[in-house]
Amino acid sequence: MKKKLLIIIATALFLGCSSPQQPHGDLKHYGEKITTLNSISGTALIRQLEQADSLAAVKVTGEVTSSCEVKGCWMKLKLDNSHEMMVKFKDYGFFVPKGLESGTATVEGVVKKEVVSVDVLRHYAEDAGKSEDEINAITEPQEKIVFVAKGVIIEGGVTAPSEEETKTSSEEEDSHKS
């Protein structure tokens, strides 16, 4: 009897100690299920983009600065003190909560430097709730770091999106895609 009890206790301790530890805070997953393992910093990403215009299969972690206030169809990550990255979602297949302004995100996908047109920049400014004056002040295309994520993990500052936030209508998608 004692032997069986010792085996049960030893097994419970072994299983309890070998379980992967969860990072601090609540993690919210969007799109494909990804992990934070082997993620690089924003600074490391910028260094890699100095050598290439695009990178496939990259995973990066940064601070969330904003997300689309209309649908959550994009978000911005701070990479370092002078660089920010626009994150869009593969095939417009998922969204993050609207109006995010904080938290840490890990994104996995493809990143590239691209010139973003005035129309698209104005569209993003409108989505972000900028004033008409701020939108009209956009008069030149800009080179941006653009990431297309297949999966996203956000830690901190996120409440689960409501059913209404995650639903989209065909009309909204057609009028909002860029």
E strands in the chain: 27-31, 40-41, 54-67, 74-78, 84-89, 104-116, 142-155
Q: What percent of the chain has pLDDT over 90?
A: 62
- Three-point CA angle 151, 152, 156, nearest 5°: 165
Tokens 């869009």 belong to which residue? 88
What pLDDT, in 10s, does the model give residues 47-75? 999 999 999 999 999 999 999 888 999 99
Do residues 77 and 85 touch, judged by C-beta distance below 8 A? Answer: yes
What are the residues whose beta carbons fall under 8 Å from the beta carbon of 49, sequence distance 6 or more? 55, 111, 113, 145
Task: Name the residue ranges covered by the structural domains of the chain.
Answer: 23-113+145-157
Dig out the tokens for 90 from the structure: 């593969």
What pLDDT, in 10s, does the model give residues 117-146? 999 999 988 888 889 999 999 999 999 999
d(CA 91, CA 129): 24
Fold of 23-113+145-157: OB fold (Dihydrolipoamide Acetyltransferase, E2P) (2.40.50)
The predicted structure's pLDDT at residue 25: 59
Residue 47, judged by CB atoms within 10 A of its CB (0-12, 13-18, 19+), counts as: exposed
pTM listed for this prediction: 0.72
Average pLDDT, the chain: 80
Cite the DSSP H helix spans in 19-162.
42-49, 118-127, 132-136
